[in-house]
Chains A and B, each alone.
Chain A
Amino acid sequence: MSTTTTQPPAPGPGPGPTRSDLRHGSLPNRFPAALLASCAAVVAGVLLAFGAFGFLLWGLLTAVSYAVIVVTASARVEGGRKATDRLVTALVYGCFVLAMLPLASVLWTVVGNGLARFDGYFLTVSMNGVLPSMDAGGAYHAVVGTLAITGMATLISVPIGVMTAVYLVEYAQGRMKRTIMFFVDVMTGIPSIVAGLFVVALWIMLFGPGRTNGAAGAIALAVLMVPVVVRSSEEMLRLVPQDLREASYALGVPKWRTITKVVLPTSAAGLTTGIMLAIARVIGETAPLILTAGTSAVSINWNLFDGQMMSLPVFIYSQVRMGGAVNYERAWAAALTLILVVMLLFFLARMIGRLFAPKAS
């Protein structure tokens, strides 16, 4: 029994050496990274030599040459199946890089073009009395409008949205529950312009044609915001452990007190995160505001119920339509402002969600 044969090393976890390795060789682990680096270097050298260097061209040629070489090498050394696997790996990585290109490009162009005009003056001055082509004026009235309209939309949609979520999680059963959940999902897909038209139709019936004001815009945004708030709140309320509710019932606390004193406070952080993400989603909405709050306001207007109201997204759009160089500069600066606001909301939401979240069971 002591004639122990030398055992082959046990295959490690993950994609270790398999049986096919015994017949075919395999490329060294470092091979793909090294090949990619050398491809990039060679392509860059060739392009520079021809004086045709461009980042897109460079990336494209590097990717293609890498894919071709790695597949041929793998097919020769490792066999066809492994070669297919290598090709798919390259494609999948390529897809991700491809998706990051527009993100980087959008942020880069907005920051690059927006910084020229993005300063204290731009943020504190309106366009009142400024001709479109003059080298003056700012977006203060648009910031005011955005704050007012989004604020009112939030005030409308949060109570409705959270209460609906409470209903779905705590009360609703059977068919009613399924119906509401289904239509909330469907409502998420309403095109924003249709929400705007809905308010236009409503306003024509209530006040006659041609009335535009901030409140109309706020209602249109609220229509878009409610389903988002419902979905996120519903998820958060479901995370509240059933034990907490039962403990409260056991103490004789009525159901509605249980919900307001136990369930809602427990999920407060999650609810806030969801609401902020919903705000971030509607704060950039343009189309419904063009229809409802007007496109031509130039002065500061805090009154939601009187007259047209500018907002940051509509400001961008109307400046682009004017088409001059100064207008484009204003549009880029406003875009930078808008993106900063959205990103801020996004990050704050994540931070709140992460810092105050109850420990998941």
Chain B
Amino acid sequence: MTTTDAPKAAPPPTGKRRIGDVAFAGLARGSGILILLILAGVAAFLIVQAWPSLAANTANFLTTTEWDPNVREEPAFGVAALAFGTVLAAAIALLLATPVAIGIALFIVFYSPRRLSSLLGYLVDLLAAIPSVVYGLWGIGFLAPQLVPVYEAMTRYLGWIPLFAGPASTSARTILTAGVVLAVMILPIITAMSRDVFRQTPQGHREAALAMGATRWEMIRLAVLPFGRSGVIGGSMLGLGRALGETMAVAMILSPSLVLSWNLLQSGNQTIAAHIALQYPEATGYGVSALIAAGLVLFAITLVVNMGARYVVARGNKES
């Protein structure tokens, strides 16, 4: 047991460094710095290209709901309706997906047969492998027609709630349908994060709860959920970030229009990302610049949400 201090596993300092080492280290370091530069470049180029339209805008960019930048002079446009639609769709998706994702994570970790658990987790991951444009096609070609009678029933029986006021859209291409599809798309990421953190629940806590005579649900409520809270919150925020930025599924499902409305069952709302994809091919005048400005807003929102999520997860890891 004559433990000497293990020398650090660094290359021997033999005077001058080898040229290969210097070059390789420089290359590796350069790649890392390049990534930071790309991220900075995304922000910088967007700001530079958004500036002309923002400077020429005759309306207040943040509070206006209309979108009329495709002119050479005096454009008037704003992101209020778009930002509202984006947040609304993402909120619906988060509300629908989080409870289900927690349920799936609990199922995979604690309920499913041990031997099947990795296979079942893999099935859930497959949901993330399906491209968003296919979700869009599925949403417009299959899901929306199925939802038309459901929405009609909802307006009939729940119409007194302002959110579900009628008349329901006859094509079901509404913000609620988009939210449902988004919920499916963000299920895997929330599930994956929750699953990881549930797995890390200390064996001792779980067995202590069971030894006290707790049922499986009581064990989960007392030992697992408090421990996994930060992971679940972080995972949900990552899912929120993804739902905010999701483009194709929303662009294909929502009918192209632009109104700020609380009615989930009527068409009209639009999200930033979908709006950019729909408008870009027809943009003239200040159009492209204005769309870049809208993209900048989306970038800022998702950046804040994602940084918050990483912060929550990192803090949770430190506490445990």
Contacts and interface: CB of A to CB of B under 8 A. Distances in A.
A95 B107 contact: yes
A195 B245 CA distance: 11
B126 to A, nearest CB: 6
Interface string B27-46: 11111101110110110011
Contacts of A254: 11, 18, 20-21
Residues of B contacting A: mostly: helix
Contacts of B281: 290, 295
Nearest to B127: A103
Contacts of A15: 210, 216
User: On chain B, which size bracket covers the interface?
Assistant: 35 or more
A1 B4 CA distance: 59
Contacts of A94: 103
Contacts of B25: 171, 255-256
Contacts of B111: 89, 92-93
Contact of A242 (B9, B45, B133, B309): B9
B35 A180 contact: yes
A291 B46 contact: no
Contacts of A230: 35
Contacts of B126: 103, 346
B175 interface: no
B215 A85 contact: yes
Contact of B277 (A106, A183, A195, A287): A287
Contact of A98 (B100, B276, B291): B100
B88 interface: no
Contact of A202 (B45, B213, B216): B45
B152 interface: no
A312 to B, nearest CB: 9
User: On chain A, which size bracket covers the interface?
Assistant: 35 or more
A160 interface: yes
A147 to B, nearest CB: 16
Interface of A: 15, 18-20, 81-82, 84-85, 88-89, 91-96, 98-100, 102-103, 105-106, 109-110, 113, 159-161, 163-164, 166-168, 170-172, 176, 179-180, 182-195, 197-198, 200-202, 204-205, 209, 223, 226-227, 230, 242, 245-246, 249, 252, 254-257, 259-260, 280-281, 283-287, 290-291, 295, 313, 316-317, 320, 328, 331-332, 335, 338-339, 342-343, 346
Q: List the 10 closest A-B pairs by CB distance, nearest first.
A: A191-B245, A284-B131, A95-B103, A256-B24, A189-B306, A167-B28, A163-B31, A287-B247, A85-B215, A201-B45
Interface of B: 9-12, 18, 20-21, 23-25, 27-32, 34-36, 38-39, 41-42, 45-46, 48-49, 99-100, 102-104, 106-108, 111-112, 120, 123-124, 126-127, 129-138, 140-143, 184, 187, 191, 210, 213, 215-218, 220, 238, 241-242, 244-248, 251-252, 273, 276-277, 280-281, 288, 291-292, 295, 298-299, 302-303, 305-307, 309-310
